[in-house]
């Protein structure tokens, strides 16, 4: 059975590879045997985590420029990946933007939240994901098929608890943007749509929705968040790798249109 989880000799694509979660997905795929095309914005600085993963992966990780809000950029990246690595059979739609609580002087009350901020988050998180599915997914559907994993979020299902953030100083209380959860909820539904439309073309489409992931959050936030989770902690990188490999591999061959929540039980109560 363990062989069903192997990804040897398969080409995978990960968007947003240098971001917070990107290196986790790249590392998981490499560990399972895949070669990975790591897509990132042109000129974006490689994170330490990404550099560590690429050093470990060696020639099985290659970076490509791609702006997921630009259809032509996605097409160029798809052509380059196919020419240099072969046809991908795994796509991890990870690229997106969030709102980190690190701008205490630039916040807005909810009723004054600039529409341009809302629009930009939807443009990247939802419309960008849609375009990448169109380009890479259609090529998969026209070829050997494969697995598409769209990265969702805990907040695709529930609203952020404002008490997690009420200790953070600023000109106005920090509010997690409503655009983030709305865009990620759209990603979940988008996965179901493509899962039903491309099932007979050999393409499975699922969403992996992580809960809060450790990334240098302050102690108060971690304590408040952990108290709300049945497993009493935030997720660590290794908590996410197995679920991704499961969805990418033949081990999940009868799973499509599903949202796999990796949230420590947060949404169970």
Q: Is the pLDDT score of 264 beyond 70? A: yes
Partners of 11 in the beta sheet?
Answer: 35
Residues 213-247 have pLDDT tens digits of 999 899 999 999 999 999 999 999 999 999 999 99
Q: What pLDDT sits at residue 107?
A: 86
The stretch 31-56 carries a mean pLDDT of 96
For the question of residue 165 being annotated catalytic, the response is no
Smallest Cα–Cα separation from 225: which of 89, 85, 101? 101
Q: Domains, the chain, ranges and CATH?
A: 2-268 (3.40.50.720)
DSSP state at residue 251: G
Phi, psi (5° rounding) for residue 39? -95, 135
Highest mean pLDDT among 1-5, 107-111, 135-139: 135-139
- What confidence category does residue 36 fall into, taking pLDDT thresholds of 50, 70 and 90? very high
Q: What b/e sequence results for 175-194 when a residue is b if at least 16 CB atoms lie within 10 Å of its CB, and e otherwise?
A: bbbebbbbbbbbbbebbbeb
> Is residue 43 left, alpha or beta, with left meaning phi > 0 and alpha meaning psi from -120 to 50?
left
- What confidence category does residue 104 fall into, taking pLDDT thresholds of 50, 70 and 90? confident
Q: What pLDDT sits at residue 170?
A: 85
Any alpha helices (H) in 36-114, and if so which ranges? 48-57, 71-85
CA gyration radius, the chain = 18
Contact at 8 Å (CB) between 252 and 5? no
> Is residue 9 left, alpha or beta, with left meaning phi > 0 and alpha meaning psi from -120 to 50?
left
Structure tokens at 43: 């000129």
Structure tokens at 269: 């109560």
- What confidence category does residue 144 fall into, taking pLDDT thresholds of 50, 70 and 90? very high
CA separation for the pair 120, 125 (Å, rounded): 8
CA separation for the pair 78, 176 (Å, rounded): 34
- What confidence category does residue 169 fall into, taking pLDDT thresholds of 50, 70 and 90? confident
Rounded to 10 degrees, what is the CA torsion of 207, 209, 215, 218? 160
pTM (predicted TM-score): 0.96
Q: What pLDDT sits at residue 101?
A: 60
Q: What pLDDT sits at residue 193?
A: 98
- What confidence category does residue 130 fall into, taking pLDDT thresholds of 50, 70 and 90? very high
Q: Which of 155, 165, 180, 254 is catalytic?
A: 180
């Amino acid at each position: 059975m363990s062989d069903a989880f192997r990804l040897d000799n398969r080409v995978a694509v990960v968007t947003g590879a240098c971001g917070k979660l990107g290196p986790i997905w790249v590392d998981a795929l490499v560990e399972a045997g895949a070669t990975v095309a790591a897509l990132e914005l042109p000129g974006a600085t490689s994170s330490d985590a990404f550099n560590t993963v690429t050093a470990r992966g060696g020639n099985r990780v290659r970076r490509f420029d791609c702006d997921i809000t630009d259809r032509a950029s996605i097409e160029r990246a798809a052509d380059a990946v196919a020419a240099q690595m072969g046809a991908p059979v795994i796509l991890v739609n990870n690229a997106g933007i969030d709102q980190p609580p690190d701008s205490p002087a630039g916040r807005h009350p909810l009723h004054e939240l600039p529409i341009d901020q809302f629009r930009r988050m939807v443009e990247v998180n939802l419309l960008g994901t849609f375009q990448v599915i169109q380009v890479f997914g259609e090529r998969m559907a026209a070829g050997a098929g494969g697995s598409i994993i769209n990265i969702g979020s805990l907040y695709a299902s529930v609203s952020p608890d404002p008490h997690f953030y009420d200790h953070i100083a600023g000109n106005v209380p920090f509010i997690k943007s409503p655009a983030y959860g709305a865009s990620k909820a759209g990603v979940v539904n988008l996965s179901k749509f493509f899962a039903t439309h491309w099932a007979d073309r050999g393409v499975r489409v699922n969403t992996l929705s992580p809960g809060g992931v450790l990334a240098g959050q302050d102690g108060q936030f971690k304590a408040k968040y952990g108290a709300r989770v049945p497993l009493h902690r935030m997720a660590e990188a290794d908590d996410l790798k197995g679920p991704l490999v499961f969805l990418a591999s033949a081990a999940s061959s009868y799973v499509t249109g599903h949202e796999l929540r990796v949230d420590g039980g947060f949404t169970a109560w």
